Amino acid sequence: MPATLTTPPAEPISMPAHVMACPQCGLHVDLPALGTREEAFCPRCDEHLVSIPRSPVDGPLAFAWTSLILLLLACSFPLLAIDVQGNQTQISLLQNAETIYRRDFALLANVLLLCVLLLPSLFLLAIIYLFSGIKFVHRLPGMRPLATLAARVQPWMMVDVFLLGAIVSMIKMASLAQVGFGLSFWALLGFSLALTRTGSLIEPHWLHYRINLLHGTDPTQRQTGPTHGCHTCGFLSPASDERCRYCHATLYARHPRSLQKTAALLLAAIVLYLPANLYPIMLTESLGRTTPSTIVQGIFLMWQKGSYPIALIIFVASVFIPIAKMIALGLLCLAAALPRQVHPLHLTRLYRIIDFIGRWSMVDVFVVIILVTLVRMGSLMSVHPGVAALSFCGMVLTSMLSAMSFDVRLLWDVQQPASTGHKYD
């Protein structure tokens, strides 16, 4: 089927005409030759297939270097400062993780280190490595697996969610103490923006095409005979191959046991969500008195204090999104398993929404981490993490894994069923 183009073809041509497998619905799409600033969409499910930015190599390189420098600055200065009756505390990004480790909440510290520091650093280094190789037309070792790894890491980077957590924490504390943002906060804000821009400039299909050209193979050449579509790079390999010959990913007609994995992880998320709401997520110690508060109690408290935007943010992130996501995943599993009445396009759009919003649920976890680190003044005022923070964090991670395990192509199998005897896409 021919692809939908946003603009008429323009010179110079950056990618020749070829067939691409849609990563979402699996349709094999005939792409025309694509020039700079052109973008192609799947004619069946509207999925963005590939676009060629104005500077497809220098753009990602410039933003990746900028992001790395801003990350170094963000780690070098104080992030937030608080003053309670003359007692001043400043915290840095790394202090957050260290303090949480000391309180025996290693899972939270690992999530913070991984999602805010390590995975973004790994992603940026991989991008600099890959695009330097492309820019200087030099084949570097491990380019294919590194390109796949960079794409897999992207959904787990949560610098923007952490920043929202920092803002919520500061507003929460504003009525009790003098609070202020340090230099690191502004560096982190710049880092978040530059990182988001770097991610938006990466086109996995185009990246794999250029890497293959460096290896002396042209993945856009027409294949004769039956073919597999690769879910990772979108190019077609002969049906007899077990692995994609262009990115080396394993080829499947559909992800093995996709529905079972999605349902099992969804069940785990539902189970974890119960203690996350029943037990306190945070304990506040003030003048010798300890007050535990659950997620819902925290929302009511902020509402009563008149902090309506904060109450709304926490309600949406911690109550509305998790519940909506769990219901939607359950519906998608049912729709994929049973004869369905709903058009697959509507279900695919629902999947895209829950896949996009899921990670924002982590806001409350970051708020707890920041407040625990920031408010440490003994019996005068201290904040301690509650056990619900662990189960809530586990719920967010399992629900994200559940959404990632779901093979959207199952929704389209009524229109184009997968062969049972032979692998194909």
151 binds Zn ion (CB under 5 A): no
Least distance from Zn ion to the Cβ atom of residue 216, Å: 17
402 binds Zn ion (CB under 5 A): no
- Across-strand partners of 15? 34
Q: Which of 168, 173, 247, 313 binds Zn ion (CB under 5 A)?
A: 247
Binding window for Zn ion (CB under 5 A); candidates: 38-46, 189-197, 212-220, 369-377: 38-46
25 binds Zn ion (CB under 5 A): yes
Task: Evaluate the CA torsion angle 8, 13, 14, 16 in order and state its sign.
Answer: positive
Instruction: Identify the CA nearest to 170 among candidates 4, 287, 12, 310.
Output: 310
Q: Report the residue number, 41 or 315, with the smaller CB distance to Zn ion.
A: 41
Distance CA 293, CA 388 (A): 10
Binding window for Zn ion (CB under 5 A); candidates: 164-172, 198-206, 212-220, 223-231: 223-231
- 279: amino acid identity, one letter: Y
What is residue 294's three-state secondary structure? coil
Q: Report the residue number, 61 or 411, with the smaller CB distance to Zn ion.
A: 411
Least distance from Zn ion to the Cβ atom of residue 148, Å: 8
Q: Report the residue number, 24 or 192, with the smaller CB distance to Zn ion.
A: 24
Q: What angle in degrees, to the nearest 10, is found between the helix axes of 295-304 and 258-278?
A: 60
Matching residue, tokens 């923007």: 160
Binding window for Zn ion (CB under 5 A); candidates: 19-27, 63-71, 153-161, 277-285: 19-27
111 binds Zn ion (CB under 5 A): no
Q: Which of 21, 40, 42, 281 binds Zn ion (CB under 5 A)?
A: 42
232 binds Zn ion (CB under 5 A): yes
The two structure tokens encoding residue 161: 């969610």
Least distance from Zn ion to the Cβ atom of residue 409, Å: 9
159 binds Zn ion (CB under 5 A): no
329 binds Zn ion (CB under 5 A): no
Distance CA 370, CA 169 (A): 7
Contacts 24+ apart (CB under 8 A), 372-377: 372/99, 372/100, 372/103, 372/282, 373/91, 373/95, 373/96, 373/99, 373/100, 374/80, 374/82, 374/89, 374/91, 374/169, 374/173, 375/82, 375/84, 375/89, 375/173, 376/89, 376/99, 377/84, 377/87, 377/89
Binding window for Zn ion (CB under 5 A); candidates: 16-24, 320-328, 390-398, 403-411: 16-24
207 binds Zn ion (CB under 5 A): no
Q: Report the residue number, 24 or 198, with the smaller CB distance to Zn ion.
A: 24
Binding window for Zn ion (CB under 5 A); candidates: 14-22, 84-92, 100-108, 360-368: 14-22
Whole-angstrom distance between the N-terminal and C-terminal Cα of the chain? Answer: 14
Distance CA 421, CA 127 (A): 39
Binding window for Zn ion (CB under 5 A); candidates: 23-31, 63-71, 327-335, 396-404: 23-31
Quick check: bond before 56 cis, omega within 30? no
Q: Which of 19, 21, 22, 347 binds Zn ion (CB under 5 A)?
A: 22
- Across-strand partners of 90? 81
244 binds Zn ion (CB under 5 A): yes
Q: Report the residue number, 91 or 350, with the smaller CB distance to Zn ion.
A: 350
* # chain residues binding Zn ion, by CB under 5 A: 15
Distance CA 48, CA 39 (A): 8
Q: Which of 230, 276, 362, 411 binds Zn ion (CB under 5 A)?
A: 230
47 binds Zn ion (CB under 5 A): yes
Which residues in this chain contact Zn ion in the complex, by CB under 5 A? 22, 24-25, 27, 42, 44-45, 47, 230, 232-233, 244, 246-247, 249
